[in-house]
Amino acid sequence: MPSSQLDARARRLLRTLIAQYLADGEPVGSRTLSRSSGLDVSPATIRNIMADLEEAGLVASPHTSAGRVPTPRGLRLFVDSLIELQPLPLEEMARLRLELPPGPTTTRDLLGNVSTLLSAMTRFAGVVTVPRQVDFPLRHIDFVPLPDARVLVILVFSDNQVQNRIVQLAKPLDGRELELAANYLNSQFAGLRLDDIRGHLLRELREASSELNQLLASAVELAAASFAPPTESDDVLVSGQTNLMGYSELANLERLRELFEAFQKKNELLQLMEVCAKAPGVRLFIGEESGFAALDGCSVVTASYGAQGRVLGAVGVIGPTRMAYERVIPVVQATAGLLSDALNRAATTL
């Protein structure tokens, strides 16, 4: 039911009920609503409105005559049209900036810090997807000769991550040839991503002719092996899973086991976070909206992050559906923005 189909009194009561429930986790009775809503209506009128909201599937009575709690549908309506989001307070923004490392660090270390920070600020589980290394520009390449025509390739990326590969050549190259090849590749391809470099190399191989000098031929052969598509797998970092054990809504041991297994296996969580990364702004899944049974009873709040105009992944938190959305959403949004700023600063140092 869209908010426009509720009259002003029903919206006011629903907002009051949800705010009260999010604050203390207890079913909210008509008498409490009468005191808290500020509406000059009789208890009978409030009960009638509550009955209409229950019929619409926005609230439910967990026990007979025990008051009402919002349903996932009611929480969705609250978040979409009844909540009033405010920017993150300056002191919390200052904390975020202080906690994120300002100096050089690898992207994985930075993301680990972000995941831990989100968990600490929300008391939920913090999650962040790790982008593929090939999404970052190459800063530098170096070669070290090994026995049997093998070469150790050292790739340094713009996020300070170092990746080592061993390639097998048709014939050995000495240290001088490897140094010249590295100088050529660094001058031609530093600042490009591996996918772009492979495209350039394919064109050079197609255009190569008998006039191609030996240095360029060796460099192209070596680079073609060095920049082969990696076999790296996608990953997601999770921090603060044990925080969820403190919430009564998730206290069922079987529920916790399923949830922790999802964190450990990561497959379903990765799928969900990849969907979130493809959409700009904040994404929110309440209960079964995520499509994954392990996350029923949980809410997932995410925001995408990126650098140089490219989306690299998503950050977020997982907690019970009874969370302070008006605070959690700005925290996730601000963290994604600061992470993007940090990655953009790292990219400009290339």
**Separation between Cα atoms, residue 8 and residue 210, nearest integer Å:** 81
Q: Specify the pLDDT at position 263.
A: 85
Q: Specify the pLDDT at position 342.
A: 86
Collapsing DSSP to helix, strand or coil, 177 comes out as: helix
- What are the structural domains of the chain? 3-82 (1.10.10.10), 90-132+234-348 (3.30.450.40), 135-226 (3.30.390.60)
**Separation between Cα atoms, residue 226 and residue 194, nearest integer Å:** 10
User: 312 and 128 in contact (C-beta within 8 Å)?
Assistant: no
Average pLDDT, 10 consecutive residues per value, the chain (350 residues) = 72 90 87 80 85 91 78 92 86 85 73 92 92 80 89 84 83 85 86 80 60 58 72 77 84 82 84 85 90 88 89 92 93 93 73
